[in-house]
Amino acid sequence: MSSRIESITTRIVALPLEESIPHPFMGARTQKATLIVQVHTSDGCTGFGYAAIESTAFVGVVGSIVNELAVALKGQDPARRAFIYERMWSLTVDLLHEGASNLALAAIDFALWDIAGQQAGMPLWKLLGGFRDKVPAYASWTLWRHHSIDRLEKDSAAIVAQGYRAMKMRMGNRTLAEDMERARAVRRGAGPDAEIMVDALWGLSATDGVRMARALEEINCSWLEEPVREGDFAGLAQARAAQAVPIAAGERISRVAHLPTLIPVIDHAIIDVAHIGGITPWLKAAALLDMHNLPISAHSHGLVHMHLLASTRTGAWIEWMPWLDALFVDPPQPRDGWFHLGEKPGLGLTLDEAALQRYAVK
């Protein structure tokens, strides 16, 4: 007899960031508020999923959606992920399948895939096909727009010294001349061989995006990410038409149906497994990108994305920010800039109950 979903439980934690990070429209980021979702089955499996945002209030909204879905999913066979996903999609149709509803679906979907791996006795990356057993990571926890030029140069050198061969810096809130001075500092620190990705955080007009792309040729930039306003596909096309540096975008894509519009205007896809609604739709997006021979990289969620990119032919880079590490017992870590995939079943993550208590939001 197949197992059944007995319950779905939620908890909220807030992990303080070591350094406050100013954001152009969200204010200062000081914490990573996280909804912990656990799906418990009748055969003793517990699958783990989560949703991470900056605001505990917003995370609470996602938690309310998960708790509502939990009532409808009780008694379902967790192996019927496609059926369950369609059920969740239908139940949240009034929420328009954007934002909070997608994060809620993703958190439950993570947990169901975690259970699938546990029940099969296989790590998720192998269950999904196991195309490769390691994935490169780029450093993305520093090189912020408020950092001094001196710090940018020192931090980029330190990243290389830790074994990483790639890093991301943020640009776009200064004149292009000032931004390029900062980009040159990162190149000096990183050396000639490191890959440097640049994220403009949706802050430019199409014309300024073209100018930045052309200027970044000087430092041999690996990609210019999200140069124009979210949803401005025509602007992305204009930036890409300059043929200066590769254009990367897509982290805010919320539906697989948006991929045909995105694909012709980018060189590199950045797909967020939470924003698109979970592993189930992410795999569909990855299949479309594979058909067009486009590389796909991660936005955040490294401990989930490492399984997905390892399973996918065109999988490329993990964006690595170790901000959620404190929630787990001995979480995977990159070695010499690579995540080496292990053999623990499912997602292979063990929650640290003491940490959950320490960072709990009442």
Q: Flag the least confident range among 21-25, 48-52, 92-96, 260-264.
A: 21-25
- pLDDT tens per residue, range 85-123: 999 999 999 999 989 999 999 999 999 999 999 999 999
Residue 178 has pLDDT above 90, yes or no: yes
From 342, 301, 341, 337, select the one nearest 322 (Cα to Cα).
301
All structural domains of the chain: 5-121+352-358 (3.30.390.10), 125-340 (3.20.20.120)
Strand pairing partners for 92?
none
pLDDT for the residue 346: 98
- One-letter amino acid at 291 equals M
DSSP per residue, 135-203: EEEEE-SS--TTS-HHHHHHHHHHHHHTT-SEEEEE--SS-HHHHHHHHHHHHHHH-SSSEEEEE-TT-
Residue 77's pLDDT is 98
What is the percentage of the chain residues whose pLDDT exceeds 90?
A: 94
Report how far residue 170's alpha carbon sits from residue 62's, in angstroms, rounded to the nearest whole number.
Answer: 28
Q: Is pLDDT at 1 greater than 60 in this prediction?
A: no
Closest among 194, 212, 199, 142 to 171, alpha carbons compared: 199
The confidence score (pLDDT) of residue 27 equals: 72
- Measuring CA to CA, which residue among 303, 310, 307 is closest to residue 330? 303
- Average pLDDT across the chain, whole number: 96
Q: Measure the CA–CA gap between 347 and 362, rounded to whole angstroms.
A: 27
Residue 25 has pLDDT above 80, yes or no: no
In this prediction, residue 29 has a pLDDT band, given cuts at 50, 70 and 90, of: confident
Mean pLDDT of 178-204: 97
Say yes or no to pLDDT of 24 above 70: no
Q: What's the rounded Cα separation, in Å, for the pair 238 and 318?
A: 27
Give pLDDT tens digits for 193-247. Answer: 999 999 999 999 999 999 999 999 999 999 999 999 999 999 999 999 999 999 9
Task: Give the separation between CA 288 and CA 261, rounded to whole angstroms.
Answer: 12
